[in-house]
Amino acid sequence: MKHILVMMLLAVTLVGCAADPASPWLVQRESSKPRSCEPLTSDQELVLGLSQEMASSGRLHAALANLERLPTDLPEARLRKAQLLRVLGRPEAQPLYSGLVNTCLVADAHHGLGQIAVADKSYTQALHHLRIATSLAPASDAMRNDLGVTYLNMQRLSEAHFELMTAMELNEADTRATQNMLTLLIYQDKWNHARDLVTKKKLTTDQFRDAEKRATALKAEHAALLAAARNSGRVPPSRPVEKIQPNKAKTIAPVPVQPAVVRKPVPVAAKPAARSAAPTSKKTPAIAPAPVRAVQPSTPAKVRPVSAPASSRPAAVKPSQPAAKAAPVGAVRGVQRAPSAGVRLIEPITGY
């Protein structure tokens, strides 16, 4: 039995360590669920409803006074008072939210504490409370929206995009998350996506201008924080990019010309050209071939009958007539041509 309990505890520990609390894709769930609130009476519901209508119409002080009719230990009444006091900017809101952490409205309590921290620009503390709130109520579009705004102020843009997109899909009728998403897109200079979002959600010109103003103010605030951090030494200043001048470029220097190249060369007696290149015509003189006229096809050569033996040379032919050679057994030799390399015999042909 002890071994089974040890294995179960080990499995639970491993599962808890595997979850990444910093990832918005996997929300870490609380180990204990808040207990359910006690049911309200009809009179209490009537007073809460009336106070909500007053607050929606902008009568915040009247709504706060109307809540004094309810018991002070009622969690719903304390939560509505804390919400009204937070909107009015009163410091009494924080202790009321803190007193609701151990009640059935623990998710709303952490949500309110996160909103107060965002207003004070304590984004690390706000992130802590809002992540607990979204883990207890993951389908709350208001909590998701405020968590996305916190990520945006912390310049964690991918997490901000995720949370705002989740809030938009959870409540498509509310344009609050849509306007915050538009602010994020303008902050990232994604003007094409911003234009598509305005067209899809049918936002007005005033809503677009309001988002643009908030994005511009957010950029200025982040730039001021970065400059202050650099001046204090917390962030090392970025090194300026060195501009390479054309005459100072880091290239391999050419080898300088030696003075010896510039000096005049020492005169040297040149050898006679006749000795260095002796002509070879003295030993073996080249015999230039005699020019031979080409035989025209229209005037074939006529063979004269001779009585001399076949081995004897034919008689000389006059320059005006083509030369003809007698061959034994009626064979006619080819006509000699005058190529550039010398005279050569062409293969025997017939038909003349």
- Which distant-in-sequence residues (6+ apart) come within 8 Å of 218 by Cβ? 152, 153, 183, 187
Query: Distances from the Cα of 1 to the Cαs of 11, 12, 218, in angstroms?
Result: 16, 17, 59
Position 167 scores a pLDDT of 96
C-alpha triplet 73, 74, 75: angle, nearest 5°: 105
pLDDT at 342 (0 to 100): 52
Domains and CATH numbers, the chain: 20-28+41-138 (1.25.40.10)
**Confidence (pLDDT) at 305:** 53
Residues of the chain with pLDDT under 50: 1-2, 5-6, 10, 12-21, 237-252, 262, 274, 276-281, 295, 303, 308, 310-312, 317, 329-332, 335, 338, 343, 346, 348-352
Q: How many CA atoms, within 13 angstroms, populate the side-chain half-sphere of residue 136?
A: 21
Q: In this predicted model, what pLDDT tens digit does every residue of 68-115 receive, in sequence order?
A: 999 988 999 999 999 999 999 999 999 999 999 999 999 999 999 999
Q: Which of 108, 102, 62 is nearest to 82 (CA)?
A: 108
- Cα 112 to Cα 46: distance, rounded to the nearest angstrom: 24
**Residue 183 in contact with residue 215, Cβ under 8 Å?**
yes
Both structure tokens of 36 = 């359910």
- What is the pLDDT, as a whole number, of residue 143? 96
pLDDT at position 276 is 47
At 153 the pLDDT is 95
The pTM of the full predicted model, rounded to 2 decimals, is 0.59
CA distances from residue 297 to 292, 304, 344 in whole angstroms, order as listed: 15, 19, 20
How far apart CA 151 and CA 161 sit, in angstroms, is 9
User: How far apart, in whole angstroms, are the C-alpha atoms of residue 85 and residue 78?
Assistant: 10
The residue length of the chain stands at 352
